[in-house]
Amino acid sequence: MAKQVLSARRVDALAKVQGTHRVDQNLYLQVRPDGTCSWAFRYMRDGRKRSLGLGARRDVSYDEARASAAELRAKLWRGIDIAAERKQARDERRKARPSPSTTVPSFDWCAAQFIAAHEASWKSEPHRRQWRQTLADYASPVFGSKPVDQVEVEDVFEALEEVWYEKPETAGRLRGRIAKVLDWAKSRKFRSGDNPAAKDGPLLHLLPPLSSFQVIENHPYVPWEEMPEFFGRLRKEEYPAARVLQLVILTGARSGEARGALWEEFDMDQRIWTIPPHRMKTKRIHHSMLADVTIELVQAQPRTEELVFPGGNPGEPLSYNALNKCVKKLRAGQAHATVHGMRTSFRTWASEVAKAPREIAELAISHDIRGKVERIYDKSYRRDERQELMQRWADYLMGR
């Protein structure tokens, strides 16, 4: 009897469960501890188990993966050695690449190769898009077509000079990205010598430190004095984004942590929301303490899938923009505020009103200021004090 083919919706759910899952004949989904997923084609040849990668789930859709698996099965039935065929194609691509002994590739070519090799590890699509855009806007017009071994300090300086003063944050990222591409080119033996874009290199003498004139601005936030009124109006809104925003405010969580919250992460008896490392910006597990109203908020959600607050598409969370629109709607006619700024509202209240110890307030928003060794051996997380702080915050928001 043929095994069942998993639906796309079922695969979406399994993508959150670590392990290897059979999707279709020979087709498997591999979910790693860090949350990344990839497709694999498993088969037997000459009495041995073999496996071929079919790409990351982010890049290869469910339908594309099944189509690739069907094509490979057809080749197996025709007696084709699919592993040897893939190796031959890979060798041909390698031969087509420029080598140090023939033609040195351009900076643009190296940038494209670097991005292709590393973008799977980058957290978000906006980050991947920004990488390409900054290099295309500022580096490419100056030295993109140059052989990468001929890119010098003067080239990097020319690309950075104007943006350095007008957009210092962008300039800092641009310098770092150019440096990484040039380091990659050196590791491939396309260039040698020092990196002209290095932070501590010759640029130190050509451009002033960004810190000398860059103004660091916090995310606009709702003053803590106005939060009860804002939260009261928010609770009257019934759409999903408003409920997620309530969770953000009540817990001090980041938007992505709240939007991606799973039912399995909540322990209502212990009053703890445990967010795994792969969903945290810090890449460390975080235990968020829950107030009474927070528990009521979560428990009021219908349990239709693994996500507590599902978006419009099955298995997909709500977008950041949905929460941002909610803030704009409720702040119409008032000073601008952001979703991320809600963390500042809480942190300011915790310091100025609750007079919470700095360590407790920082732990509440997943800023662990303890040393690495202390984090390993201290498993208490100051739970009682943090629980009391979050309950006081919730009571304040509710006007109690």
pLDDT (tens digit per residue) in 10-27:
888 888 888 889 999 999
Q: What is the pLDDT of residue 47?
A: 78
How much of the chain, in percent, has pLDDT values that exceed 70? 90
37-41, 100-104, 161-165: the lowest-pLDDT one: 100-104
Using alpha carbons only, give the angle 119, 125, 126 rounded to the nearest 5 degrees: 115
CB atoms closer than 10 angstroms to residue 20? 13
Phi, psi values for residue 208, rounded to 5°: -70, 155
Judged by phi (left if over 0) then psi (alpha if -120 to 50, else beta), residue 303 lies in: beta
Structure tokens at 368: 């662990």
Q: How confident is the model at residue 163 (pLDDT cuts 50, 70, 90)?
A: confident
Q: Which domains does the chain have, with CATH numbers?
A: 8-96 (3.30.160.390), 107-212 (1.10.150.130), 224-397 (1.10.443.10)
29-33, 100-104, 377-381: the lowest-pLDDT one: 377-381
State the average pLDDT over residues 105-126: 85
Q: How confident is the model at residue 146 (pLDDT cuts 50, 70, 90)?
A: very high
Q: How confident is the model at residue 299 (pLDDT cuts 50, 70, 90)?
A: very high
Residue 83's alpha-carbon distances to 50, 74, 88, 93, 182, in angstroms, are: 9, 14, 9, 15, 33
**Neighbour-count burial for 192-222, b at 16+ CB within 10 Å, e otherwise:** eeebbbbeeebbeeebeeeeeeeeeeeeebb
37-41, 121-125, 247-251, 275-279: the lowest-pLDDT one: 121-125
Q: Are the beta carbons of 257 and 309 closer than 8 angstroms?
A: no
Q: What is the pLDDT of residue 95?
A: 60
State the average pLDDT over residues 319-344: 88
Looking only at the bridges linking them, the beta strands covering 19-24 and 266-267 are unpaired
Tell me the residue type at 264: E
Q: Are the beta carbons of 60 and 54 closer than 8 angstroms?
A: yes
Phi, psi values for residue 56, rounded to 5°: -70, 145
Task: Could you list the beta-strand ranges (E) of the chain.
Answer: 19-24, 27-31, 37-45, 48-56, 266-267, 272-275, 286-289
State the average pLDDT over residues 348-357: 91
Look at residue 375 and tell me whether its pLDDT is greater than 70. Answer: no
State the average pLDDT over residues 368-389: 64
Q: Are the beta carbons of 178 and 138 closer than 8 angstroms?
A: no
If residue 75 lies in a helix (H) or strand (E), which one and from where to where? helix 62-77
Q: What is the pLDDT of residue 373?
A: 42
Q: Are the beta carbons of 140 and 108 closer than 8 angstroms?
A: yes
Structure tokens at 188: 């491939």
Look at residue 315 and tell me whether its pLDDT is greater than 80. Answer: no
Phi, psi values for residue 168, rounded to 5°: -60, -35
Q: Are the beta carbons of 318 and 197 closer than 8 angstroms?
A: no
Structure tokens at 194: 């020092």
Look at residue 358 and tell me whether its pLDDT is greater than 70. Answer: yes
Q: What is the pLDDT of residue 182?
A: 95
